[in-house]
């Protein structure tokens, strides 16, 4: 089932998500709904707060990155292969290390449509999490995959990419962010806006 994506300004996007257990009600459906919602909105990641659930769950599928730029040289063959096959569910994730020199990447967010900003983050992460079967993992990632994980991970901690831009940029975006909260933005997927017009 495709769910509405919660728009910027809704308090649920600012809550720190709680950990869940294997028997969390409807977990299987929540996960499949999140993938369906994300694909419909042409996203590469979606976190539970973005569908109104304040729990530590996010899903990622980086395949669209490789489809957008078939013939440019943005990725090596190895990177392309890795991105094309990266589809994962992260539950109760904990980033335990981030390292390296910060690099910038132009990020967007399904909750903040039509706004993209360069965001600086460290390139390498180590993360512990369980998957949809509650199997435990302790892994390291870098590059674009680490970037997407960091963005989604921020969501389950109540943070948004707009928190990471300069105060000046944020001031300049204020009007557009307010418009998003009010639903004064044209989007091709279903959204839920916090402020009634
Ligand atoms: Ni996002």
Question: What is the tens place of the pLDDT at every residue in 9-25?
Answer: 999 999 999 999 999 99
pLDDT for residue 191 is more than 80: yes
Q: Decide if 196 is inside a domain.
A: no
If you measure from the C-alpha of residue 39 to the centroid of ligand 1, how many angstroms do you get, rounded to a whole number?
14
Per annotation, catalytic residue among 36, 70, 132, 152:
152
CA of residue 93 to ligand 1 center, whole Å: 16
**Domain-located, residue 86:** yes
Rounded distance from Cα 161 to ligand 1 centre (Å) = 7
Give CA separation, 136 vs 84, 94, 132, in Å: 23, 11, 10
97 is catalytic: no
Q: How many domains does the chain have?
A: 1
pLDDT at 71 over 80: no
Distance 156 CA to ligand 1 centre (A): 10
Show the domain range for 107. 5-191
Beta bridge partners of 190: none
What pTM, to 2 d.p., does this model score?
0.95
């Amino acid at each position: 089932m495709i769910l509405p994506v919660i728009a910027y300004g809704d308090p649920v996007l600012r809550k720190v998500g709680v950990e869940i257990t294997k028997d969390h009600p409807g977990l299987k459906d929540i996960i499949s709904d999140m993938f369906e919602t994300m694909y419909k909105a042409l996203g590469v990641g979606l976190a539970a707060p973005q569908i109104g659930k304040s729990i530590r769950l996010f899903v990622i599928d980086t395949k669209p990155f490789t489809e957008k730029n078939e013939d440019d040289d943005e990725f090596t063959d190895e990177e392309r292969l890795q991105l094309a096959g990266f589809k994962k569910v992260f539950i109760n994730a904990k980033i335990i290390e981030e390292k390296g020199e910060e690099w910038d990447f132009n990020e967007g967010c399904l909750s903040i449509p039509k706004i993209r900003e360069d965001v600086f983050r460290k390139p390498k992460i180590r993360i512990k999490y369980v998957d949809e079967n509650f199997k435990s993992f302790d892994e390291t990632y870098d590059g674009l995959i680490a970037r997407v994980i960091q963005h989604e991970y921020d969501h389950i901690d109540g943070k948004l990419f707009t928190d990471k831009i300069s105060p000046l940029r944020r001031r300049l975006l204020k009007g557009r962010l307010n418009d998003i909260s009010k639903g004064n933005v044209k989007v091709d997927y279903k959204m839920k806006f916090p402020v009634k017009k």
